[in-house]
Amino acid sequence: MYVIGTAGHVDHGKSTLVKTLTGTDPDRLAEEQRRAMTIDLGFAWLSLPSGRSVSLVDVPGHERFMKNMLAGVGGLDAALLVVAADEAIMPQTSEHLAILDLLGVSHGVVALTKADLVDAEWLALVHEEVAAKLAGTSLAAAPLVPVSARTGAGLAELRAALDQVLDTTPARNSERGTPRLPIDRSFTIGGFGTVVTGTLLAGPLALGQEVEILPSGLRARIRGLQTHKQRSETALPGTRVAVNLAGVHHSQISRGDVLSLPDAYTPTTLLDLRLRVLAEADHPITQNTGLDLFLGAAEVRCRVTLLDAESLVPGASGWVQLRLEQPIVAAHGDRCILRVASPSMTVGGGMVIDPHPARHRRFRNEVLAGLETLARGAPDELLVQALGAGPPRELAELRGELGMPESIAQPALAKLISSGLVLALGEQTSSAHLITPAGWSRLEERLLPPLRAYQRRYPLRQGMPREELRQRLRLSPRALTACLTEAARRALIG
């Protein structure tokens, strides 16, 4: 399952193209149809030549509705950038492209709409201008396809291009991960009750599950699921999902809330991230600048603490901590957009490195070193990767190898131990020897055969000398003690 979002300037034909491709008018509001202008998010579903089913999110192009646009592009797999051939690059074309670039959307297709209104020479000039605009962005390799919604020309080629792009778009892991659904709509349907919709970033969700709405902490139960307008018992990541909830009223849920399992996420009011300021920004970002943060479907006011610079000029990047006025749900690796309210414009964006940091002081080398470490991956993933299937190791050793502060390593380790992804060999976690299940299996294969062989050879002796066993296994004395204690606990040895 994949989600494709439109992008582009107002009146360039995004909604018309979606309607022509799918047969569904994404402009669902009466005012949208009266004004012939997309105001809020619209949704449609498309079957591609390969048989692949795709959800389409249609976003508004007018600058006044940029907040609604940003609520719809947080979970895209690919983009359909729409540029009218009779107007070429316009202000919201540039801003939408910059947003897609900041969000790391690297798969997409450009539709040159209204191609029937221009001659071949003009179309070639527009093609050249758009290709130049894409250069240096995440969509630099996107194919450009001239189309006409009025005549149907190019629609088959556009469908084929979307199919080819999705061939190289990584599918989301449907088996692992905690469900996370940023909510972009909440409403009620007669006879059914509360329904929320969004793009499922991780999952899966299933009928009957108890869920939590964050940041409010409200609990509810899933009594119905729809994906691609079809009822389903489960919903997998990478799909547009409608969730019918029991136990909560739609007025208690707002755009930007997140649906997940109980106690799976903790809302935060601090975020550490690597911020990139757009080269087109009018002003530098200075200490304590007030900005609007857009993450997932949420929008919240924030203040910026610059951690490694006095200011970030247009085109620069740096480490920052955001202080949020309201709590949101975020995870390591989430992409976000930052805008100024007046004049309304996008100034930059970045990737969340630590969603639950301590409050930092500026220009601290240990803080910056810790952020550089976390930029390589989530702390729990880094710890598991460092352990691999190797012998047991102490946390202090792992921290030194990874350059990971204890304040980050300890919570990550606790999470790994509680989930069974890491085993702690010893009574105290702070001094325990750590090993993955795969590492323990390999250790068993090395530990038990020599013990059993020694017992068969010397049946009257009490056991193999510890030093001989330690040298065979190439373990420290403390690591050997931890391993033997664990083996005895598992009744593998007497």
- In the chain, where are the structural domains located? 2-167, 180-260, 268-372, 378-494
The sign one gets for the Cα dihedral 147, 149, 150, 152 is: positive
Look at residues 67, 68, 95, 71 and name the one whose alpha carbon lies nearest to residue 81.
Answer: 95
Domain spanning 2-167: which CATH class is it, in words? alpha beta
pLDDT tens string 34-47: 444 455 688 888 99
Decide if 183 contacts 258 (C-beta within 8 A): yes
Q: Report whether the peptide linkage leading into residue 343 is cis, meaning its omega lies within 30 degrees of zero.
A: yes
- Do 268-372 and 378-494 show the same overall fold? no
Give the pLDDT confidence of 273-328 residue by residue, as tens digits: 999 999 999 999 999 999 999 999 999 999 999 999 999 999 999 999 999 999 99
**CATH classification number, 268-372, choose in 1.10.1740.10, 2.60.120.10, 2.40.30.10, 1.10.3720.10:** 2.40.30.10
User: What band does 30 get if pLDDT is binned at 50, 70 and 90?
Assistant: very low
Give 168-207 pLDDT, tens digit per residue.
998 776 555 789 999 999 999 888 899 999 999 988 999 9
* Mean pLDDT lowest among 154-158, 398-402, 426-430: 426-430
- Three-state DSSP at 30 gives helix
Residues 6+ apart with CB under 8 A from 468: none
pTM of the prediction? 0.83
| CB atoms inside a 10 Å sphere around CB 260 | 21
Residues 6+ apart with CB under 8 A from 284: 277, 311, 312, 313, 314, 316
Q: Name the nearest CA neighbour of 126 among 112, 140, 137.
A: 112
First vs last C-alpha separation in the chain = 52
Cα separation, 295 vs 354, whole angstroms:
14
The answer for residues whose C-beta is within 8 angstroms of residue 445's C-beta and 6 or more apart is none
Overall fold of domain 180-260: Elongation Factor Tu (Ef-tu); domain 3 (2.40.30)
3-class DSSP state of 343: coil
List phi, psi (to 5°) of 179: -55, 135
- What is the CATH class of 378-494? mainly alpha
Check pLDDT > 80 for residue 208: yes
Q: Given the DSSP bridges, would you call strands 53-58 and 345-354 parallel, antiparallel or unpaired?
A: unpaired
Question: Can you give the pLDDT at residue 330?
Answer: 94
